[in-house]
Amino acid sequence: MNATIRLTPEAHQGLLVTRQTIQAVEILEYGPEELTSFLRDQMARNPLLRLAPAGGVSRMPGARAAPGVDLAEVFAETAPTLRESLQQQLSLLRLPTRLRFLAGHLVESLEDDGLLRIDLELAADLLGAGIDEMEQALRQIQRLEPTGVGARSLRECLTLQLAEQGPISSRMQALLDNLGLLETGQLQRLARLCGIPPGDLPGLLLQLRRLHPRPGHAFAAGPTQLALPDVLVSLTPGDGLRVEVNPELLPRVLIDREYYTELSGQMRAPRDLNYLRGCLQDANLLIRNLDQRAQTTLTVASWIVRHQEGFFRHGARALRPLSQKEIAALAGLHESTVSRAVANRYLLCDRGQFPLKFFFSDRLSASDGGTGVAASVIRQRLQDLIRAETRETVLSDDDLVACLAGEGVSVARRTVAKYRAQLRIPTSGLRRRRLWLDQRPLARDLRSRG
């Protein structure tokens, strides 16, 4: 038997994941803090990298001694801020898109002490939302840690903290309702209103002193700096929408080619020259990937703004259904790339500052064969229909389905029930009983006396 060995070329398809690809993916997903930490590490490793602040190049002291370089003055490490902590907690809650959107806006409106001092009605008008929605969003914030954040007054802040510890006694409630008497020193009157002897008042006040009237200050180790938006959206003179990457957040990393020439002229050992050339190659790679990160962010943000143009002109009621898959198709990107590009990114417009991911919403089908309706809009419509109910016109879930169908939106009964539960709206039977009680003269009289 003759055994013959032949070598024949064959073509195989494969994915070669290069170092450049890996770094580009990592950089795209980094938020501002992670990117800062990454660049700090790269500058400590590579003596050719320089940081150029706005207005020109800044030579960092000691930057040429890479092993011992101290970049603390350039990149200050910061602990998570109050707003960052609350936004992270919100992301873990299973909230409707619209509600999460509004809650995220209120988080960004909190004062450094954790209290909310903006007018909810004004915020509702600005965002094109209802006051009931804003109050519901605020309740979600008040569930977060530290307890007391989102309170609109000292009384509410202390009440939230006491309620977490258990039922609030009538004497403590009376104290909370009359905190102003403490400021004026009317302790005898305060004790009388609390229904306790004056000697028992210090013990009651001690419970309040154990609370935190400014819960947000636990995060304020120093001067608090507001997070800068990654994307800026503004109206153009021709009533268009301009989208741009915030130049203040673009890392200005440069290569010190003069220093490269100086070092390469002094080196004789091949190993040293190879190291220096590798540093130059890594520096070029880093700058290309940073440019790509900015371009991808701008591309994705531009398509989001184009799709959600109604929001920027009319508010939250005009939000349209949108998925990351749709943006990926429009931008010619992979869906995972879009997911990384919107993570930890914020957009600033004349309505406020919002996370990019909040512009995505699930979709419900339209009975007329149209493109569908955002679920957040359906929830808003359910609220509007139920808010308009009277004792004689309470709508069952089946009635709500029929109303939406009459408006061209096909929704299953179980979907209506689910959204109603998410909005914390009771069943039609309970709503009917409440309306019946509210319309009795005696109930109105008791409520007016209370």
For 389-434, how does the pLDDT look when each residue is reduced to its tens digit (9 = 90+)?
887 888 888 888 888 887 777 788 888 888 888 777 888 888 887 7
Q: Give me the sign of the Cα torsion angle 394, 398, 400, 403.
A: negative
Which DSSP symbol is given to 214? S
pLDDT digits (tens, 9 = 90+) for 87-142: 888 877 778 878 888 888 899 888 888 899 888 888 888 788 888 889 999 999 99
What is the overall mean pLDDT for the chain? Answer: 78
Alpha-helical (H) ranges within 324-396 are: 324-331, 335-342, 375-387
**What 3-state DSSP class applies to 361?**
strand
Q: Looking at residue 401, what is its pLDDT?
A: 87
> Which whole-number Å values give the CA distances from 215 to 148, 218, 225, in the listed order?
6, 6, 17
**If you count them, how many residues does the chain have?**
450
Per-residue confidence (pLDDT) for residue 373, from 0 to 100: 59
**Taking 50 as the threshold, does the pLDDT of residue 314 lie above it?**
yes
Instruction: Report CA-CA distances (Å) from 423 to 71, 93, 365.
Output: 49, 14, 21
Q: Is there a contact between 220 and 114 (Cβ–Cβ < 8 Å)? A: no
Separate counts of helices (H) and strands (E) for the chain: 21, 8
Q: For 337-361, give one letter per residue: b (16+ CB within 10 A) or e.
A: bbbbbbebbbbbbebbbbbbbbbbb
Residue 438 has pLDDT above 70, yes or no: no
Mean pLDDT of the 148-166 span = 88
To 5 degrees, how large is the angle CA 155–CA 156–CA 157? 90
324/185: higher pLDDT: 324
Judged against a pLDDT cut of 50, whether residue 349 lies above it is answered with yes
Extract the tokens encoding 412. 């299953």
Residue 124, strand partner residues: none
Residues of the chain with pLDDT > 90, as a percent, come to: 14
* Maximum separation of any 2 CA atoms in the chain, in Å: 116
46: closest CA among 274, 282, 270, 272? 282
Stretch(es) of the chain classified as CATH 1.10.10.1330: 80-220
* Mean pLDDT calculated for residue range 226-250: 86
pLDDT at 331 over 50: yes
CATH class of 80-220: mainly alpha
Q: What number is the average pLDDT over the span 70-86?
A: 57
b (16+ CB within 10 A) / e for 195-215: ebeeeebeebeeebeebbbbb
**pLDDT given at position 79:** 58
Quickly state the pLDDT bin for 74 (edges 50, 70, 90): very low
Per-residue pLDDT band for 232 (boundaries 50, 70, 90) equals: very high
- The CA angle 238-243-248, to the nearest 5 degrees, is 125
Is residue 414 a contact partner of residue 400, using CB atoms and an 8 Å limit? Answer: no
Least confident of 182-191, 247-256, 380-389, 432-441: 432-441
pLDDT at 64 over 60: no
Q: CA torsion, points 175, 177, 178, 182, in degrees to nearest 10?
A: 60
CATH fold of the domain at 363-449: Arc Repressor Mutant, subunit A (1.10.10)
Q: What residues does CATH 1.10.10.60 cover in the chain?
A: 363-449
322-336, 364-378, 420-434, range with the lowest pLDDT: 364-378
Residue 293's pLDDT is what? 92
**DSSP line for 49-71:** EEE--TTS-BPPTTTTSGGG---
What is the reported pTM?
A: 0.50
- Measured CA distances, 173 to 177, 195, 197, 204 (Å): 6, 11, 16, 11
Select from 136, 138, 100, 131 the least CA-distant residue to 116.
138
**Which residues, in sequence order, are CB contacts of 21 under 8 Å at separation 6+?**
none
In the chain, % of residues over pLDDT 70: 80
* pLDDT confidence of residue 284: 92
